[in-house]
Structure 1
Amino acid sequence: MARHPHVLAGSLAAALTVTGTLHFVNPRVFEGLIPKALGSPRAWVYGSGAAELACAAAVAVPATRRVGGLAAAALFVGVFPGNVKMALDSHPGARHWSRKPSVAWGRLPLQVPLVAWAWRVARSADRD
């Protein structure tokens, strides 16, 4: 990861913008993460997409970067149970690539560097 705080924050903001936008462009990809007990998956997908876009905006602005980084870290932790659900529900014959076991299980350890990235952005905000 980049050492310069602006590059670190800018790349996180870009990643959050892309994934947040995907929640609105192709919500069906994310609906499998939502437990049935929570009700309408589409509403949760749109809500989490909006949260990612809000975190992206906060991270992009130096004055709100610390809060944005902390919020992004919390968001990455918060969606982890959904990623576990998707992994448990995955099967080799799935039609969509995101439902295949290799992808669903492979994404679980990726949450750790995402949380660390957001945390590092929050910590570096004071040095901007």
Structure 2
Amino acid sequence: MAKRLNMIVIIFCYLAAGSNHFLHSGAYIGIIPYYIPFPVFVNYLSGILEILFGLLLIFKATRRFAALAISLMLIAFLPVHIQMIINAPFKLGTFTVSPWVAWARLALQPTLIWWVWWSAKD
């Protein structure tokens, strides 16, 4: 029951996070490091992939693939979180990202990877 509930939460989070790339694209584009080309495209691609992988988590047949894809995506996002640490403090919409928040966000990545894998296992 706990894994099922966790999976529902993860699916909801990825669908919401992916949608957020379209609803609040400026905030996401603003945190993409300067050395990553085509930030608008990268933002929308990230949103599409988060939605796609969230949907693939629904089905048992594609769940392990989706968990792997999400894990790789979280690793690919590490440069964004490192750049956030470098740039902190800064405003992200109405929220101020302090150095502490930026470090906490980076530290959360391994936990998110573990969480999606634990929840996806049979």
Q: Please indicate, yes or no, whether the TM-score normalized by the shorter chain is above 0.5.
A: yes
Partner of 2:62: 64
Partner of 1:10: 8
Shift in Å, 1:47: 0.7
8 Å CA contact retained: 1:66, 1:121? no
Amino acid at match of 1:95: K
Give distance in 1, aligned partners of 2:96 and 2:114. 23
Higher strand share: 2
Query: Structure 2 unaligned runs (5+)?
Result: none
Q: 1:66 to 1:43 in 2, by over 3 A?
A: same
User: Under a length normalisation based on structure 2, what TM-score does the superposition of the two structures give?
Assistant: 0.86
Shift in Å, 1:74: 1.1
Partner of 2:102: 104
Give distance in 2, aligned partners of 1:15 and 1:39. 27
Query: Structure 1 unaligned runs (5+)?
Result: none
Give distance in 2, aligned partners of 1:39 and 1:78. 14
* Root mean square deviation of aligned Cα: 1.7
Match of 1:95 among 91, 98, 113: 91
User: Under a length normalisation based on structure 1, what TM-score does the superposition of the two structures give?
Assistant: 0.82
Q: 1:27 to 1:98 in 2, by over 3 A?
A: farther
8 Å CA contact retained: 1:29, 1:98? no
Shift in Å, 1:13: 0.8
Shift in Å, 1:98: 5.2
Give distance in 2, aligned partners of 1:99 and 1:44. 22
Count of matched residue pairs? 120
